[in-house]
Amino acid sequence: MNETLDITISKADQSRLTVTDFSQLPFGKVFSDHMFIADYNNGEWSNLQVLPYGPVPMSPAISALHYGQAIFEGLKAYRQADGRISVFRAEKNFERFNKSAHRMALPAVPEEIFMQGIAALIEIDEKWVPAQDGYSLYIRPVMFATDPYLGVKASDSYKFVLMTTPTGPYYSKALTVKIETEYTRADDGGVGYAKTAGNYARSIYPFQEAMKEGFDQLIWTDAATHEFIEEAGTANLIFVIDGKLVTPSVRSTVLDGVTRDTIITLAKKAGIGVEERRVSVKEVIAGIENGSLTDAFAAGTAATVTPIGQIGYEGKLYTLTDPATRTISAGIAKTLNDIRYGLIPDEFGWNWTVK
């Protein structure tokens, strides 16, 4: 980020802070006062600006709506113990954003636009970063195709947008999840590793059906055999089996989660064994039954570390150990939060101080 960009700033006439209840922040429903936008045309990025959050005019013919050229990311800014504001592992999200862009035939976003856009947005909306324990400012980068053209081809124009939303904990209790063996989230050679809109669209109907059965989320399995576990809803899955962290290895159908990578790093630092490999449904069910599986949790930017309390499979509900007794995941979660909130030294250089 050597070059300082020329970003036009247009401030909102009136802030919505005074009418926002920070004790009631449902995820993704309360947006900060401003957003950052950049346009891609004729092979270059331009029109960089911070402006009041609101509708973006567009044609109903834009190719993102018809052919799904749209990607996004999710990262968080935290109010540090000393009052400063830092963004956690932004460089990892930037790298993954462009990995998704490459797979979906979108142009790469330069690092200075991604990073300086975030910094400019937080600079103007710093009061939207919550100070409560467990709260943060969720940052959503999104890019979508804007050619008003009904033809199946890569668009020539795109819009990159950054928006922010203050949020509390994503889940408030241990999850009851269902191992899905009919529908699939992703298949080999597809786009499962990219954060593209279509991945989530295809998961909504199965998720709705699972909710009717009383489940909070799904555990996705491989498309070919449904024998191997891949992800949990919108997060990665991690188990503790025989005292080791065991997680499905990253592949074309599994998202390379930033929180997943962070947890693996912290576990290794703490001397906990880690296995990244294929994890079978049979192994998980057997581990619950014989007691070797002592923990299971979802790991993601929104979910952070969310315990799984029950797993449904083939009509039977399996109850896991009491989350209150899970020392490994609880210890890792505490260390992770202490780093993000500046309560302990950040020896990994993960916190990027922006304000």
* Residue 50 pLDDT exceeds 80: yes
What is the predicted pLDDT for the residue at 230? 96
**What's the pLDDT band for 233 if we cut at 50, 70, 90?**
confident
Could you tell me the pLDDT band of residue 68, with boundaries at 50, 70 and 90? very high
- If pLDDT is split at 50, 70 and 90, which confidence band does 2 have? low
* Cα 206 to Cα 85, 217, 218, 223, distances in angstroms: 38, 10, 8, 14
Stretch 292-302: mean pLDDT: 94
| pLDDT for the residue numbered 173 | 87
Mean pLDDT, the chain, rounded, equals 95
How open is the CA angle 205-208-213, to the nearest 5 degrees? Answer: 135
Ranges 18-27, 60-69, 95-104, 288-297: which has the least confidence: 18-27
Does the pLDDT of residue 347 top 70, yes or no?
yes
Helices (H), 104-256: 111-124, 197-212
Q: Residue 26 has what pLDDT? A: 86
**What pLDDT score was predicted for residue 234?**
83
> Residue 170: what pLDDT?
75
Q: pLDDT tens digit string along 105-157?
A: 999 999 999 999 999 999 999 999 999 988 999 999 999 999 999 999 999 99
Q: How far apart are CA 210 and CA 203, in angstroms?
A: 11
Q: How confident is the model at residue 303 (pLDDT cuts 50, 70, 90)?
A: confident
* β-strands 175-179, 217-221 pairing: parallel
How many CA within 13 A on the CB side of residue 83?
0
Taking CB atoms within 8 Å and a gap of at least 24, the contacts of 282-289 are: 282/227, 283/241, 284/229, 284/239, 284/311, 285/311, 285/313, 285/318, 287/239, 287/241, 288/318, 288/320, 289/318
Give me the mean pLDDT over the 233-262 stretch: 95
Instruction: Report the SS3 class of residue 287.
Output: helix
Section 301-325 average pLDDT: 94
